[in-house]
Chains A and B, each alone.
Chain A
């Protein structure tokens, strides 16, 4: 037995004696956990105020009147009331396991003493089997957390918002904390760009490398009080993940196998025309002057008609025949075949193949060390062509109790992912016409939706003047993604005395993602660079190069051989260091509970990204490069790069402290302060430091002595909470101009010989640049009825976001970004869980989650163009929600069938919409359609259990947002386009404008007469006519599980065995009819984006 070093004076103050018939008792109090004496435990005579405390050896001596019992208690341990006996030995057990704790990532806080707003979700309950990215399973699980699956592709992060947007230009992304370490994204993909479909989104999820089986709990910290320990990083909330730890005792090995089958999408759920209707549209187009021989046979893109014309001139000398005889009969026959074709692109491009995930974990340990280790392997052959994923993870979590005072915990986590995706380039917006387009897009999902069903699967048609077949292209144009990430961390905890704990945490993270975009020799994208079959094509093909230095030059190819090899590498090196000290104690019969916690933290993140484009990679000749020199001349003249390198460095340092005082667990007050600095805000030593703080309090009414008397069993739990806080965020990652931002550039020059590189001031200095800040008032109430059979939790908050980054128009620096904008938001969050029926064999519980959030930009100078305000992800405008979508007011069709709109000057126009207009007074004509972010989200879950069988029916819902319908209308169509069925109601003859709002298929004469007709059709795509409500109720999950009975299991020498069949994303119970099958959560932007599939997963769990 070691001597304790310190003892508290407070201990002595409690020694009072009362002169009665007394028995002097001595005893020892021992902790069950470590068999060590408990110092300072209070020993009270029941019903009296007299008592004593234990000394350094855990001994106590007390006089007890005969017949009285004594109560021994210590904070964090279960109290015991025993009959006194001399020389007694009392073993106290930790109460932590019985009591709920909130994990803030840095601390574990007794829920009774926690004054903030948080939600705890056990991974077991939330986990969606067959969905490898654990972040997606948070959808609907916690009030105040909205999860939008803007793309279902693995590696793409869902758009997660905790209590809605907190910034205008910033990301409003919550902070992910895994086992106390902040997870950083390898690249900064903004919340809006998550739905872009660009290849970068594949590496946007910081936690895609976590095996969902390793996760124990999520703690979602919502209000400023809960997050304040992260102060200047936590404005948008914190999601804390705690992974599993080993437990002492017998080694347990578990296996989880998930086998997932995904349904192919079906045309029956979309309103795409079948090939017969489609061909009749083409016939109309032909009547209107399109799809004629001269134009179509040399067109950049063509389908059935283009192929027909090409066949006319394809002469086969062997047979002496043309590909197709140019006779009326042969033509009709050819077109009739197309009419009957009805190609099912979904069937061709999607597969039902089984995705399987295997995870094996072992949990073992002794008193001295505990280990949790797991490995997992996920194989996904791909729902669509070229979307194969393999992921391997390994995780090791060891805790060593080196001595009674010193423990060491180490975690090593690594994952490797190999993924393939269809080749894609980044999407671009043509600001002039307002069209968002992606060159060479071969996304299978959008291809199936947008491509005519009259095309033959195996025929090569024409795209970018070169032969194109989707299956061939997918085989020859793809992205190989290799992603490796690793995290190692170690933490020493030293407890010199029971009340004090010192901890040192160090973590190192490394991520590397390599995207190799392989454009093979025979791909359409490579061939487009050398397509010059006719002089017409040669002169029209934009991929060819005409030497400006040679005044007689003809267009030539810059890619005579091979394909194009693009390589993008993103890597991140990060380390964290944290030193903390905590002090927990209780005085005066545990009446006064004090927790102190403080520390310092330092983070360093270095990111590097490089990109390279290799022209002329001859994949078919054993991968050797053979490039044309013109490619460099061309790019020099056009001022484009062939490689780039970007290194960024993020450094942070913070001091923090929090103090909690509670009187008997009834009244608790808490205060936190954090003082944080970041290098992002430049060298100015004043601007880069910011103190953030919080004050909060809670009243646990059920701890009051009168409570139980008053409410008996009807109300068993009641807590009221209030907090007020300041938290912050260092703003969008690209606003760093506290000092002038000088970067290198290559000014445009007319010829390559005049090039020189220079430096330019990209952003003028703003010495006042500071953090974006948020004041938040949170009020919460938690009630438990009937022995907590019904639990009710309600939070209300009001937020005032200020110093947000916004635009300032200056006198000489043009537009600058500064801390000038503000917004306010408020919301309520409600969660109710009830145990409706509970018998020995049967139970039924229900979970209802609802949250409402509203935000409004209160102060913002605006520089947005019309196109920003009407396109998919919306934009902020003063007086409106932070992601508002506006629409061009549609005013019916004119007598030519062309759409008309109200324009910026109050006139009715067809083509007079200026998508680039920025002037505030000229944006007024736009009609507000709604917010892009849902305002009301939640879920409704029911769990039924009968003996070993469980049935889970889980419904999620989301209301209050609008979505832009797919932009399907164009001034000119070609014979590749698929059209939605609404085309059937299109304007055909004058007079139709009284009955329909679907514009005419513009004739070539109409296009000739007005060469800006594309403005009219793009305006239509962005009009009030093409907007739908984003509201939906989704049958997210239905699952049936069966735990095999113990008797059966032990016969197999197993510990446990269970099977579960789960259907995910089964159907939408409700969605706006206007969507016609378009998923309201999903942004169909092409590239690598595909929606979440409907899937069935069989899960097998067994434990040894």
Chain B
């Protein structure tokens, strides 16, 4: 008997040892990031597929409320227009964007850990992959901190930022702490500086959907502009723009000549906007989004609209006033819609595309493609950096390039005097302090309250910046990027309701300089999972408003 027991024990212990090896087999065809190729492929998914465009565009002064009688809205749009903490779920809600960006970060970290496990970035293409991963990680955090926190303020080192995540998630439900905005920016700078020397385009098959060299420099340019390191912003802008900046700009005239599509009129134009072969498109991102519908020739969502009044008085015609033109004097004509419940000036630049999961039932995902960075934006960023460093001539030269390219005024000469004359002559828009209801008139010029110092109102510097902001507002219309200028420059904006004639009627709400709502609230599900929310004003028993610091 002992013999058998002995035999069994031997047999058992032999199998025990081999069993763990036996069980190491992966259960399906999943893979691990452990080769150069796999790391490169993994980085395909380190780019967001959701966007901030809906909630930052609707939160900006690029839209006005056309009134309660306009039926083309939904609860989600109502919430994002009114800067309410979002509770509705939507493909374009802040939750989707938050989760998506942190997934990009997770993926980038996984690639970086994969490179570490292979003994570091030893080959040149691994170095490029490492650079791409760092850029993706930095970009995702950059968008997170700018959307979900207050804007960087060099003098406020305690402002709450987001979590800077540098390793992959290992547990079921880990809890993360928020850093300060300063720490976030320092980390972004660190990742960016580590990445930029190695960034390359060699292994990309579709470089425009990855951080190619120009995209990386454009990112650096915008980052350092926000970080108030203007020399660096200029340095990286120069790398993108080279000696002939015009070659890096969009050919608006070509867009204007595109025919109308058969099914959806705007499709040939919008599809050309995101053409990957164009120099001006530096980094293209896809998104599950109906931005192309909301800001195209469809009625959907048009209760909140970039209406004619805005186009005339703040954005399009107001800018053209500089060269004595109007809305017709741009290379690409604005599409003007008017009808019952549809008062919109639209630029066809957001494609509305569809991915069919079930072509028969016509079920699938709405998509759009948007530019994370364009050559045009880099040019305007450089102009702004020059303006802030006092190099007005260079700033004006850049603006002249931009105006000649964007407008019909191909030979236009821009001078300081013209700027001072036109911008200086404009009144400031809807001065909040004047009366509660009184002055709600528009202008492209709005009071600037940045956290850093610029010359006083009416100065050349201020006028120049007003013009740059107006150009950028035109350049990024419908893309939700105006929101970041509103935050950065401390621009106060109202929630304005238009009357039946399409003119301002009254104002419901103000976004003040230090309004906590400038930091979009952390999504509901993330808060429920225990994440520190952004402070929001609460009403105490005495009826006084107070900021709730949690």
Q: Which residues of A contact B (CB under 8 A)?
A: 6, 428, 430, 432, 437, 439-440, 464, 496-497, 500, 502, 542-543, 546, 548, 551-554, 579, 581, 598, 600, 602, 638-640, 645-653, 655, 677-680, 683, 685, 688, 736, 739-745, 747-750, 753-762, 764-769, 808-814, 816, 818-820, 916-919
Contact = CB atoms under 8 A, between A and B. Distances in A.
Contacts of B8: 581, 598
B41 interface: yes
A557 B490 CA distance: 56
B160 to A, nearest CB: 15
A812 B169 contact: yes
A387 to B, nearest CB: 24
A683 B24 contact: yes
Contacts of A809: 525-526, 528-529
Contacts of A602: 15, 19, 22
B44 interface: yes
Given A736-B28, A759-B38, A813 B102 contact: yes
Given A6-B1, A749-B206, A761-B106, A740 B168 contact: yes
A439 B358 CA distance: 10
B453 interface: no
Contacts of A766: 171-172
Contacts of B525: 809, 814
B173 A818 contact: yes
A653 B15 contact: yes
19 contacts: A440-B360, A639-B355, A679-B23, A680-B27, A683-B24, A740-B110, A754-B276, A757-B44, A758-B45, A759-B38, A760-B44, A765-B169, A765-B170, A768-B172, A812-B98, A812-B176, A812-B526, A813-B99, A816-B173
A240 B5 CA distance: 29
Interface stretch (B245-253, B255-263, B384-392): B255-263
Contacts of B434: none
B209 interface: yes
Contacts of B550: none
B20 interface: yes
Nearest to B165: A812
Interface residues of B, number: 85
B351 A743 contact: no
Contacts of B29: 645-648, 743
A649 B176 contact: no
A679 B369 contact: no
A745 B31 contact: no
A337 B255 CA distance: 60
Interface stretch (B266-274, B302-310, B321-329, B466-474): B266-274
A1083 to B, nearest CB: 20
Contacts, number: 230
Nearest to B43: A758
A813 B110 CA distance: 14
B542 interface: no
A819 B360 CA distance: 38
A919 B525 CA distance: 10
Given A688-B23, A748-B286, 8 more contacts: A546-B263, A640-B356, A653-B23, A655-B12, A742-B32, A757-B44, A760-B107, A768-B171
B363 interface: yes
Contact of B171 (A437, A754, A767): A767
B501 interface: no
A497 B529 CA distance: 63
A678 to B, nearest CB: 7
Interface string B2-45: 00100010011001100110111111111111000010011111
A502 B41 CA distance: 52
A917 B22 CA distance: 44
Interface in B509-550: 525-526, 528-531
Given A553-B262, A812-B106, A496 B4 contact: yes
Contacts of B353: 750
B259 A551 contact: yes
Contact of B363 (A430, A496, A753): A430
Contact of B531 (A740, A749, A811): A811
A766 B171 CA distance: 5
B367 interface: yes
B172 A816 contact: yes
A744 B106 contact: no
A544 B358 CA distance: 13
Given A768-B171, A810-B174, A919-B89, A759 B33 contact: yes
Nearest to A497: B1
A907 to B, nearest CB: 13
A290 to B, nearest CB: 21
Interface string B203-224: 0011011000000000000000
B107 A600 contact: no
A636 B89 CA distance: 30
Given A679-B26, A809-B528, A750 B271 contact: yes
B242 interface: no
B358 A428 contact: yes
Given A551-B261, A653-B22, A812-B176, A760 B42 contact: yes
A3 to B, nearest CB: 16
Contacts of B274: 750
A579 B271 CA distance: 66
A917 B174 CA distance: 27
A546 B264 CA distance: 12
A813 B23 contact: no
